Amino acid sequence: MGFFTKDNKSMEDLFLHGLQDVYYAENQIVKSLPTMIEKATNRELATALRNHLKETENQVARLDQVFERLGRDPKGTDCPAIDGLIKEASEVTGEVEDKKVLDAAVIGSAQAIEHYEISRYGTLIAWAEELRQDNVVRLLNANLKEEKAADIKLSGLAESKINRKATTGHRTAAQRAATKRRTGTSAKRPARRKK
């Protein structure tokens, strides 16, 4: 069931559907993060993902509190968007043989998921405020802040180390392979001239 279903007759219905959507998403992420952690070869990346797994488990607990405060049972609804992002993450990271490139793929996939969550929480907070559901805004804001912090942490790792390591040596190897294909011989690096 999506946002444009006929079952969403009011803003309250839409808000509840959004909560069910993010509840499902967070629970799917709890299930899928251990696989991403296993694939990560960079220790800092694996640690960041492990820490975020704990945060995600806490986010699910906060969402349980949101449902409780609204007088509803915690329940998820299928979310094709998060299912697609998780499937894509599995496919992209499953195709990478070079461990340094694999770490870059893990970060890219994790950030796609983070960005989805950030957009959902931002929307839910705006709707909760509009519906005067002030009793749940703080909980949703706590989740949003953690998602943003995780995204910043992943960006920092990618930009400071992982992306650079993933590209080091690959350009010259690719250039050598292209030269070999063109000439049928191995290309050696030219000797540097002394000044």
pLDDT at 70: 96
The CB density around residue 5, as the number of other CB atoms within 10 Å, is: 12
**Cβ pair 136, 85 in contact under 8 A:** no
104/96 Cα distance (integer angstroms): 10
Closest CA relative to residue 108, chosen from 40, 16, 26: 40
Predicted confidence at residue 179, as pLDDT, reads 52
What single-letter DSSP state applies at residue 189?
A: P
Please give the DSSP secondary-structure letter assigned to residue 159: I
The pLDDT, as a whole number, for residue 99 is 85
For the record, the structure tokens of 79 come out as 């979310």
Separation CA 45–CA 49 (nearest Å): 6
Give the E-state strand segments of the chain in sequence order.
none
What letter represents residue 109's amino acid?
A: S
Task: Tell which phi-psi region holds residue 192, choosing left (phi > 0), alpha (psi between -120 and 50) or beta.
Answer: beta
pLDDT tens profile 132-145: 999 999 999 999 99
- pLDDT, position 171: 52
Structural domains in the chain, CATH included, are 11-166 (1.20.1260.10)
Q: What is the pLDDT of residue 98?
A: 86
| Rounded distance between C-alpha atoms, residue 82 and residue 84, angstroms | 5
Residue ranges of the chain whose pLDDT lies below 70: 1-8, 169-195
How confident is the model at residue 168, as a pLDDT? 80
Determine the pLDDT at residue 187: 47
